[in-house]
Amino acid sequence: MLARWATATVGPDIHIKVGRTLYSVPWKLIGRKVDVRSTATMVQVFHEGDLVKTHAALEQGKRTDKNDYPPEKIAFQMKTPIWCRTQASEVRDGCREVIDHLLEVNALYRLRAAQGILGLRKYGDGRLEAACTKAITVGDPSYRIIKGILIAGTETDPEPETGDAGAAAFLHGPEGLFAAAIPTQTTDELHGDQDRDDAEEAAR
């Protein structure tokens, strides 16, 4: 079987051009020159004498192996439920519990919410883990609540004593939590207290 040899440079899109066809090459070789051996059925790519890629030959068009892209690009392209669970496990147990709960039923329908929560890793894995744990504690581990906790910076605040009111208070930061913990009195109640004090003083 006759083989043809050629030299090509790996483009920024990770592809080389061989004849009328584009073939992907591992991303680490972007900008490098490679040697290409092509036959009627196969295309082999060599870098410094080492075989780095093999494709089935294609007369015209494009052959792309997604695994040739950088890991982060593969992840953002795929973002499957499996990817979400893997990323959540990297954060830690609380985040994994939130993602598992989200994807337990109707995984594809709720996939965007899971991806959104994992996008909050920009705040740091430690903070996201604390926020997920806090959201689980208040009984609402949703994207909205977790993001609210992170924005307010309250993921490490003391746990609220009550359910909904506590959750709302700690989402508004330390001031909200402090205010929620102290019952307020209306003007009428204050007057009522004063009247009772006056009556008791008069009785003496």
- The full set of domain ranges for the chain reads 4-68, 79-181
Model confidence over 1-32: pLDDT tens digits? 689 999 999 999 999 999 999 999 999 999 99
Model confidence over 127-140: pLDDT tens digits? 999 999 999 999 99
Q: Exposure of 108 by Cβ count < 10 A (0-12 exposed, 13-18 middle, 19+ buried)? A: exposed
Percentage of the chain lying above the pLDDT 70 cut: 74
Q: Give one DSSP letter per residue of the chain, joined into a string.
A: ---EEEEEE--TTSEEEETTEEEE--GGGTT-EEEEEE-SSEEEEEETTEEEEEEE--SSEEE--GGGS-HHHHHHHH--HHHHHHHHHHH-HHHHHHHHHHTSSSTTTTHHHHHHHHHGGGG-HHHHHHHHHHHHHTT---HHHHHHHHHHT-TTSPPPSSSHHHHHHHHTHHHHHHHHHS----HHHHHHHHHHHHHHHHH-
Backbone angles phi, psi at 40, to 5 degrees: -65, -20
* H helices, E strands: number in the chain: 9, 7
Q: Helices (DSSP H) in 60-110: which residue ranges? A: 71-78, 81-91, 93-102
Model confidence over 78-120: pLDDT tens digits? 678 888 999 999 999 999 999 999 999 888 788 889 999 999 9
Q: Rounded CA gap, 54 and 41, in Å?
A: 11
- At 77, the amino acid letter reads Q
* Cα 128-131-137 angle, rounded to 5 deg: 145
Q: Which residue has the tokens 């950088």?
A: 70
Model confidence over 30-86: pLDDT tens digits? 999 999 999 999 999 999 999 999 999 999 999 999 899 887 777 656 678 888 999
